[in-house]
Amino acid sequence: MRKIWRPLPLMGVAAVCMVTWLFIVGNTPLGAYTDPDNDPVTLSTRYGLTVEQAKPALQREYDEAVAQFDRDVASVPAARARGVVDARSYEAWDAGLPSTIGESDWELIVQLGELPSYRTMSQASSLLSQIDESPGHFESSLRQYAAMALGFRNEPRDPLPALAARRVERIAAQYDARSMLDLNIEDAVSSSGPPLFAAVAVGAILLTMSTLTQDRQTGMRRLQWSSRAGRAVMGTQAVAIGLSSALLSAVIAGLWAGWTAHRVWPCLNMPLLSYDPPLLWFDWTVAQYIAAVVLTAVPVGAASGLLAAWIVRARPNMIRLLIAVIPVGAVIAFIAGRLLGVNLYMLRNPLSRFVTVPGVEPGVALIGLALGVALWAFSVRRLRRRELSD
């Protein structure tokens, strides 16, 4: 293990983690929203945790915002000149505008749109229309969404696979239990999957790739090959590579989970089944979803380290090692990030189009891990059977 956890590989891993963290913070909703009024955590908890709890408070806010807008717009001379004296007359005036808007009309639209009362009124109105969706329309929307998610080349999947259809029915049956969780909370977790899984795969490869080559450069390889007992050391090295890759993956994913959980702390126990549900295969809370991502990242990292080390093996020098490991690492990172990490545990995951079953992502990760273990076990067994004269 000491041969693996050395300063130079750890510096490379740290660099990968830093780039990944900057990408996640800069490109996910949790890092992008700095305005408290648009913060997804605030939007999820402002009115109540469930739709039924939120409706009265949201309706009250909308009514207050309309009353305030009526007072605000009445004090704007340009609005009064056009007969706009309250929210209702503003909607009628706005609907009657021609397709080509004059400069003075556009200036008035911008002026009124910047009013805090107008922004509050528009946001509350939009949210009310979403949560007031009828149960029948809610289920119909889910079916259309699932059909598009599982379709090919923008063609909806019809009919839906049996398991997907049952999942849609189960979500629709929980209409009355919908939470107020903002979709950006789920998106912040799911959109972190590709960079996180790619970082786990690349980090595991960077940490373990030079172990066998270093032994070859220092002459340790020849000593190991001089006896059957020495050749058996490869089995110990394979175990160390697998364990180190898994441990590093747990650390990287754990750091991400800690930051994400801290950022969404008030929403951790909220169900992901919201008024705009993300079509997950499981009825999870936010905390359970974060935990599932971490638990899936560990076998992904372990499989990446074992498979890359088995393919690359020991090279004469570090230059040849890099030439060999770069394409291997790129392929493994692509599989981890773009196939396994995209829309984890959702019907939108690319693998769900071909294998429409719940939990296909950890299944593929465990298959990759089992393949890595099997390949190393085969190589170790083969070496042990060789005669000393080989």
pLDDT, one tens digit per residue, over 342-389 is 999 999 899 988 899 998 999 999 999 999 999 999 988 877 766 444
Q: Does residue 41 sit within a domain?
A: no
Task: Give the end of a domain, one of 151, 178, 205.
Answer: 178
**One domain, residues 295 and 254:** yes
**One domain, residues 204 and 250:** yes
288-290-295 Cα angle (round to 5) = 90
Q: Does residue 1 sit within a domain?
A: no
What integer pLDDT is reported at residue 319 of this predicted model? Answer: 80
**One domain, residues 254 and 323:** yes
**One domain, residues 149 and 209:** no
Q: Does residue 45 sit within a domain?
A: no
Is it the case that residue 211 has pLDDT exceeding 80?
no
Q: Which of 30, 65, 37 is nearest to 187 (CA)?
A: 30
- Average pLDDT of the chain, as a whole number: 87
**One domain, residues 249 and 355:** yes
Q: Total structural domains in the chain?
A: 3
**One domain, residues 19 and 56:** no
Report yes or no: 303 and 369 within 8 Å, Cβ to Cβ: yes
What integer pLDDT is reported at residue 48 of this predicted model? Answer: 85
Q: Does residue 304 sit within a domain?
A: yes
pLDDT, greater one: 99 or 90: 90
The Cα 319–Cα 193 span in angstroms is 31
Q: Does residue 21 sit within a domain?
A: yes
**One domain, residues 304 and 352:** yes
- For the segment 168-195, the average pLDDT, to the nearest whole number, is 90
Max mean pLDDT range (130-139, 232-241, 246-255): 246-255
Task: Give the end of a domain, one of 104, 132, 160.
Answer: 132
Residue 143, token pair as written in the block: 């079916």
Backbone phi, then psi, for 378, in 5-degree steps? -65, -45
Q: Does pTM top 0.75 for this prediction? A: yes
The H or E element containing residue 386 is none
**One domain, residues 30 and 55:** no
Residue 55 CA from chain centroid, whole number: 29
**One domain, residues 108 and 144:** no
Q: Which of 37, 27, 51 is nearest to 276 (CA)?
A: 51
Domain that holds residue 152: 133-178
74-103-77 Cα angle (round to 5) = 20
Q: Where are the alpha helices (DSSP H) in the chain?
A: 7-27, 29-32, 40-45, 51-74, 77-81, 87-95, 103-113, 116-131, 135-149, 162-173, 183-190, 193-208, 211-217, 220-225, 228-231, 233-263, 286-312, 318-334, 360-384
285 beta partners: 271
Q: What is the pLDDT of residues 115-136, one digit of tens each?
A: 999 999 998 998 999 898 899 9
Q: Does residue 389 sit within a domain?
A: no
346 beta partners: 280
Task: Give the end of a domain, one of 178, 213, 234.
Answer: 178
**One domain, residues 339 and 378:** yes
**One domain, residues 169 and 209:** no
What integer pLDDT is reported at residue 207 of this predicted model? Answer: 92
Q: Does residue 390 sit within a domain?
A: no
**One domain, residues 302 and 212:** yes
HSE-up (13 A, CA, CB side) for residue 362: 12
